[in-house]
A and B are shown apart, each in its own frame.
Chain A
């Protein structure tokens, strides 16, 4: 894919979009919570990838995690700009609160990526327990696994998710690189 993009193959750009647009759009939306801004970030991300396919290094992880990182950075940048403007205009809030908001937005994007990259069995257990309010025994029955296994999946799923809430928000690639579900 990288070579095809570098060669300037428009069909590769289309395939790249088809493969990653749902991820990019969803991460951007999670950070910005705004349709139009998320669309714009989506456009910026694909423009960046199309203009700079050579900056992807397969040794550093999957193309998927690379694209996710670019998205998170661009979305957080935009969020920072928008929030800083709002802060300057209104004079409300403190710089610390601004930083806090940005950290939260960044963690939210990480969490989204982790959820999307999480092994399906873990996500299925979390979904049952959190969104469908099943207790772990019911979840075990639904999934056809032992209660021990259900507890293990819920705990492991949350442990993976907890890695999103990093203090040093920027700089790490999202965990779970390369796996998709």
Chain B
């Protein structure tokens, strides 16, 4: 501990203490303060029954008191005359000065036996240094405070950062397209921060939609964070940074996750938290420095799919939210959807990818045939996607080719659903048959789009 404080106790500030301070008993424990606690004699609140009066010299006048907060394991034997001369001459239970001194903390916390308490209190009447320390430790108990681990409002982060950046704009800003990833990783990090081992090992059920039906897989909270880290690693690798799975790791997100789960020597633990967070911070930092130059950099998700970096980070933000919600559900915490503006961008990405997903299904014979192929960039047959609530909007999904332009003029129908529900569909958490509150128009087009949305889900 620091020096000045040590001197403070013996040197000053004691003038308001009576020369013979009465030492009330130890403080009650935390739950004694609750009205529901069983009534128990509380000496601290009952001075009339206060049994102990210090009769030794006042603390300030005692030159002998060593005041090092770092406890010397061997106490100076300052009251030798009170000590037991030999074992046989006194009752064996009489405690030595050294033991009595070591009991002061437990005494102040009311955490010793009745016999020990009585002996400590008797000792305090005859040993000024111990009496002084007893007072000080008992006062310190009053400073203990239930660590309520106040939940930090997740929205406070963006408010604080905006306010800072409004006063002094950043010279190296976080690109706007990385903002959802920044916000979602911070939100998940805050959720994880107070987790104990039990929460890290809580079972989590990951579900998605594969081969026309819902599938699920069980892992733990730590396993989910490992999954997020390995798939984020795709983006990391595309920026030329070290892939967490090492060089030569596969591009396919599911293969990567399986590799991580398989090669981990033991089930993932909370040890995965720090590397995941550090990697996300590194990503944000790296794209901040690289700026616009890397926004269009292609990130490969395997043989058949790639996204420009700006969209890949948006996809990672989406996954981070979806899995954050999976984790929160597993440990019964609330977890809100992303901010409306970020949610809107995630939905927009899904709407932009939908025509390709539909074409993939068509090639496998899972969607109806193309009805009317148009020149690339020309308005094609479309389905209107009406998403309601915060983050919502209207999109026109080109039905016959990813190259066609979705257009209101050529709309053949409409589906309407809530923003979060649409995201649940894309995440594979609700089935296409159960999604969509309202639909009208071409039934085949509606079915194809809903199934294509669900097909974008993955582990």
Contacts and interface: CB of A to CB of B under 8 A. Distances in A.
A72 B116 CA distance: 39
A128 to B, nearest CB: 8
B146 A22 contact: no
A42 interface: yes
B29 interface: yes
Contact of A175 (B5, B109, B147): B5
Nearest to A22: B152
Given A129-B109, A163-B69, A43 B163 contact: yes
A108 B140 CA distance: 10
B246 to A, nearest CB: 26
Contacts of A131: 29-31, 144, 146
Contacts of B71: 152, 155-156, 159
28 contacts: A7-B171, A8-B170, A10-B174, A11-B174, A13-B165, A14-B174, A17-B186, A18-B189, A18-B281, A22-B152, A29-B150, A39-B156, A51-B167, A130-B141, A130-B144, A133-B31, A155-B102, A156-B69, A156-B70, A157-B105, A159-B137, A160-B1, A161-B140, A161-B143, A161-B144, A162-B69, A172-B2, A175-B2
Contact of A14 (B13, B70, B104, B186): B186
A160 B172 contact: no
Contacts of A158: 105, 108-109, 137, 140-141
A43 B163 CA distance: 7
A66 interface: no
Interface of B: 1-2, 4-5, 8, 12-13, 29-31, 69-71, 73, 102-106, 108-109, 111-113, 136-137, 139-141, 143-147, 150, 152-153, 156-157, 159-161, 163-165, 167-174, 182, 186, 189-190, 193, 277, 281, 284-285, 288
Contact of B165 (A10, A107, A130): A10
Interface string A36-47: 000100110011
Contacts of A161: 140-141, 143-144
Contacts of A47: 160, 163-164, 167
Given A130-B144, A151-B103, A158-B140, A9 B171 contact: yes
Nearest to A135: B111
B70 A50 contact: no
B106 A135 contact: yes
Interface of A: 7-15, 17-18, 21-22, 25-26, 29-30, 39, 42-43, 46-47, 50-51, 107-108, 111-112, 115, 126, 129-131, 133-137, 139, 148, 150-168, 172-173, 175-176
Given A42-B156, A135-B113, 12 more contacts: A9-B172, A14-B182, A22-B193, A29-B150, A39-B153, A112-B145, A130-B144, A151-B105, A158-B137, A159-B69, A162-B139, A167-B8
Given A22-B193, A156-B105, A15 B161 contact: no
Nearest to B144: A130
